[in-house]
Amino acid sequence: MNVRDNLGKAWTFIGTFYANPEVGKYVSIKWPQFSSEKGLKANDEVIFTERPRREGEAPWKKFNVIIKRKIRLFGQDIWGEL
């Protein structure tokens, strides 16, 4: 799985795609380096969006990733992008 973060850095994850009637579609990936470099914490929100495949690109899935973290500011919960 090829992923590009919001800073434009490319990442490659080995992932397995699943479909479950109760949960829907999901992917299981191993990403210790990404998690460490991004400083991910519990309750961070990681959103993968599929990028359209360009002509001549390899057939595996291409994604963009957005990482959000909830912060409390002036008594309000605000989601900020990392």
* pLDDT tens digits for range 15-33: 777 888 888 877 777 777 7
Residues 6+ positions from 43 with CB-CB distance below 8 Å: 69, 70
Confirm whether pTM is higher than 0.75: no
Contacts of 32-41 spanning 24+ positions with Cβ under 8 A? 34/3, 38/5, 38/67, 38/82, 39/82, 40/67, 41/69
Q: Is the pLDDT of residue 7 over 70?
A: yes
Among the listed residues 5, 6, 12, the one whose alpha carbon sits nearest the alpha carbon of residue 60: 12
Tokens 């605000």: give the residue.
78
